[in-house]
Structure formats: structure tokens, C-alpha cells
């Protein structure tokens, strides 16, 4: 994560950390609901926009630039991946 200072032409401001541009989620994935629910899920890392969570998000992404949609299928944050 980068840091920055604002220059207003006469004064250099204080050092400020950039906010996160994404949130990382570690979930379980199955290509079918049966795979997810019956112990054939795989652990995956996906990304959502800042301030979002698994329960409330506008999309899951496979990259931290939020430009590539995650693989279609079933995701869960409350099962143990096999």
C-alpha cells in the first residue's frame, strides 16, 4: 500500500497511507452446489470492493484490480473446504 503527501504549492502535508482498494476474502468454491455442500469444495482467494464483505458485495473478482470476474460457481464462507 502506498503513502502520499499533498503539496498545495507552499506546504507539504503530512504523510498519509492510501486506503485499501480491495478486500481479500478466503472462501470455499465448488462448481456445483453438491460439490460445495458435500465436501468437494476447494479453498480460493477472491477480492471485493473496499467496504464490502461476502454477505454484501457487488461482485467477486479473481484479481486485486477488480477487473476479472471470479469463476462462475458456488462460494461459501461457512464450510470447511476439503
Look at residue 47 and tell me if it is in a domain.
yes
Q: Is the pTM of this model over 0.85?
A: no
Look at residue 81 and tell me if it is in a domain.
no
Per the listing, cell 452446489 goes with 33
Look at residue 4 and tell me if it is in a domain.
no
Look at residue 32 and tell me if it is in a domain.
yes
Look at residue 55 and tell me if it is in a domain.
yes
Please check whether residue 79 is in contact with residue 41, taking contact to mean a CB–CB distance below 8 angstroms: yes
At 36, give phi and psi (nearest 5°): -70, -45
Look at residue 9 and tell me if it is in a domain.
no
**Count of structural domains within the chain:** 1
Cα(74)–Cα(71) distance, integer angstroms:
9
Look at residue 41 and tell me if it is in a domain.
yes
Q: Which residues of the chain have pLDDT under 50?
A: none
Q: Which domain holds residue 58?
A: 20-75
Give the model's pLDDT for residue 80.
75
Amino acid at each position: 500500500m502506498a503513502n502520499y503527501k499533498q503539496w498545495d504549492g507552499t506546504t507539504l502535508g503530512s504523510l498519509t497511507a492510501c486506503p485499501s482498494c480491495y478486500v481479500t476474502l478466503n472462501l470455499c468454491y465448488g462448481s456445483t452446489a453438491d460439490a460445495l455442500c458435500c465436501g468437494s469444495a476447494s479453498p480460493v482467494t477472491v477480492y471485493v470492493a473496499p467496504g464490502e464483505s461476502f454477505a454484501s458485495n457487488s461482485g467477486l473478482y479473481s484479481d486485486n484490480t477488480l477487473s476479472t470476474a471470479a469463476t462462475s460457481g458456488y462460494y461459501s464462507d461457512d464450510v470447511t473446504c476439503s
